[in-house]
Amino acid sequence: MTDKNNKTTLWELFISFAKIGVLTFGGGMSMLPMLQRECVESRKWATDEEMLDYFAIGQCTPGIIAVNTATIIGNKQRGLPGALVSTAGVIFPSVLIITVLASIILKYNNNSYVQKAFEGIRVAVCALILKSILTLAKKADKNMLYLLVTVGAFVALFFYKASPIAAVVATIIIGIIAYYAEKNSPKKNEEGK
């Protein structure tokens, strides 16, 4: 794995994240599989566990998860310049493409072929997001508490339309309580002796 002292250039960061930005449709969540593939499998800039953490931080902070994740990885690789270049790389293709296509899309928005193309893109994006979720779920800690928290958060968000912010804050609090409960448990204290 690499770090700030490595030989990763700012240009490599920009190109890697621009490639992700140009090849991904559907917003930040749909970029997660490509971020994982590029940053973990191809470039070895992070481990799967680190990417889970970066995705969690990216989701909990303001902005688009993919942009936030690119910023974190860029910072890890090259500090502030890396963060800025990675962020610019991931958003540059979108800004360029949207600028060019905005007038075309508005002009042909009612065209049935354009509408069907967008329907197809939505299906592909859903499949990409599901793949990313399943891949990351394999790497996540597996215990009953985390499973219950995951199911509880899903039910609260999906069925009861709970605020995502409330769900994130609640899961953070539960995680902190679980950490200290496990750390201070009699069984853990006996193992430490």
pTM for the full predicted model: 0.62
State the Cα torsion 13-14-15-17 to the nearest 10°.
Answer: 80
Asked whether the beta carbons of 32 and 65 are under 8 A apart, the reply is: yes
State the Cα torsion 140-144-149-152 to the nearest 10°.
Answer: 120
Query: Would you state the structure tokens that stand for residue 82, as one six-digit string?
Result: 């890396």
What residue spans define the domains of the chain?
1-140, 141-193
pLDDT for position 75: 96
Per-residue pLDDT tens for 39-97? 999 999 999 889 989 988 988 888 888 899 999 999 999 999 999 999 999 999 988 88
DSSP assigned state of 31: G
Burial 88-122 (b: 16+ CB within 10 A, else e): bbbbebbeeeeeeeeeeeeeeeeeeeeeeeeeeee
Q: Is 177 exposed, middle or buried (0-12, 13-18, 19+ CB in 10 A)?
A: exposed
Residue 108 or 34, more confident:
34
Per-residue pLDDT tens for 138-185? 877 778 888 888 889 999 999 999 998 899 899 889 989 988 888 887
Query: Would you state the structure tokens that stand for residue 180, as one six-digit string?
Result: 């200290």
